[in-house]
Amino acid sequence: MQANDPLKRLKNRALYYLAKREYGFVELINKIKSFATDELDLNLDSCYQIVEELKTKGLQSDYRFCESFVNSKKRKFGLQKISYELKQKEIDDFLIEEFVDALRDEEYESARLVWKKKYTSLPSDLNEKNKQIKFMQNRGFSFDTIKKIIK
C-alpha cells in the first residue's frame, strides 16, 4: 500500500485514534466511518476490514477497551450505568458481565464515596431523601445499594 492509497490512509486514521485511547470495535468503526465515506470515497465494508485487521494484530481489543472504560467510570458511577454505556457501545454481553461482576464487591464503597462527595448528612425529610435517592439512581447505583447508604 502506498501513502496515497485510501485504505492505507484509513488504517492510519484508525491507528491515530487508537494511539490516543482504547476504542471498542464498533465504536472505532463509527469513528472512522465519516472519514472513509466522505473524504476517501470508501464504503463501510472498508472500515470493517481495517478494524478487523487491527483486531487480528492485537492493536484493537474490546477487552482492553472495557478494562480502560470501567476503570475510568467505576469511581463515579454504578454498575447499572456502566453496563448500560458499554451496551450502547455494542460491547458483547459476556464481556460486560465479566467486568460488571468484578466490580460488584466494590459497588457499595463506590456509592458511599459518591454520596459522601455530594451530601454532608443523611436526609432530614422525605423530600430530601427522594432527591438523594434520585441522584444516586441517576449515577447508576442499584436501589438495594442506595438503601444501605440512605437509611
pLDDT score of 4 more than 90: no
Cβ(89)–Cβ(60) below 8 Å? no
Confidence of residue 1 (pLDDT cuts 50, 70, 90): very low
pLDDT score of 35 more than 50: yes
- What average pLDDT does the structure give for the chain? 94
* Amino acid letter for position 37: T
pLDDT tens-digit series, residues 63-111: 999 999 999 999 999 999 999 999 999 999 999 999 999 899 899 999 9
What's the pLDDT at 151?
78
pTM of the model: 0.86
pLDDT score of 121 more than 60: yes
What's the pLDDT at 3?
56
